[in-house]
Amino acid sequence: MRFIKMHGIGNDYVYVNGFAHPVADPAEVARKISDRHFGVGGDGLILVAPADEEGRRGGAIVRMRMFNADGSEAEMCGNGVRCVCKFAYDHNVAPGVREQNPLLVQTGRGVLRLAYELDSAGKVSLVTVDMGEPILAPAEIPVRLPDLSRVVNHPMHGLFTWPAGYGEWGHGAGLDPRMTCISMGNPHAVFFVQDVQAVPLEAVGPIIEKHNLFPRRINVHVVQVARGSEMIMRTWERGSGITLACGTGAAAVCVAGVLTGRSERKVLIHLPGGDLTLEWRASDGHVHMTGPATEVFQGDWPEG
């Protein structure tokens, strides 16, 4: 099975051309191929496949299916979908792909629009993704409504106080115990702190991810505000652990910054793997994310 290793600012995945090579058991392949010691290594597996009937009705030729390193299927990945755009264009996976700009890609969040720029070699280098509108209603994120008696439900949708007794980890980091819960097609919990490096993310990430407040688990982000137009974040990704970047998470952080009065609508976000520009546009309520997509190498994975 031919694969291509790609990354969006360090958020790395193994990509397979599903047009040419359908994968029978992608969850099992994801677990094996993502292993950084015995496999190719990555945060998961992404299939660049033909759009189904629903996707084609939305104008998409390409469909993205994403599987985390633990084999669980996720709805969306902002860094991953930028690389899907690069994969589809650079390798011309299907007729008509190179005629679309913005490229329409079917995801678990629906059909997204990806505007791209080419470098001097005619390859995709920079991609802007229309991530759509953030989802703030607790039941749709989802956050368990019966459990909200344990938190303070603020008038602002999506903003809750983390249950008492779970905030000790943030004492040295200057934690604001209020978390902002947002879905960008996949669920996110954002915590603002004074020092992101002081957070023991490897310890608290899995606890929050699997807390019973979150029926589909959750991605966890700690964020430090540098100024109104600039923030620093670290991420524990659901199903993958600590990652160098999370595009949908950066979109959620942008929205959380605006909702809590900490940031402007357009921000530069520094992640361990690099920088992303996010804008929550007042004109249509959509979040737009701009960042690079990089191909690392190609190879063959033994089947069976």
| pLDDT tens sequence across 105-131 | 999 999 999 999 999 999 999 999 999
Q: What does the pLDDT read at residue 290?
A: 98
Q: What are the residue ranges spanned by the domains of the chain? A: 2-130+291-300, 138-285
Domain 138-285, CATH among 3.10.129.10, 1.20.120.1200, 1.10.1660.10, 3.10.310.10:
3.10.310.10
Q: What does the pLDDT read at residue 249?
A: 96
Q: Known catalytic residues?
A: 77, 246
Cα torsion 46, 50, 56, 61 to 10°: value is 80
Q: What does the pLDDT read at residue 172?
A: 82
First to last CA, the chain: 10
In the predicted model, what is the mean pLDDT of the chain? 92
Same topology between domain 2-130+291-300 and domain 138-285: yes
Mean pLDDT, to the nearest integer, of 231-250?
95
Whether 84 shows a pLDDT value over 80: the answer reads: yes
Which residues have C-beta within 8 Å of that of residue 262, sequence separation ≥ 6? 192, 225, 228, 231, 256
8 A C-beta contact, residue 130 and residue 110? no
Quick one: fold of 2-130+291-300? Diaminopimelate Epimerase; Chain A, domain 1 (3.10.310)
> Where is pLDDT greater, at 54 or 166?
54
Q: What does the pLDDT read at residue 165?
A: 56
Q: Report the distance separating Cα 157 and Cα 82, nearest Å.
A: 29
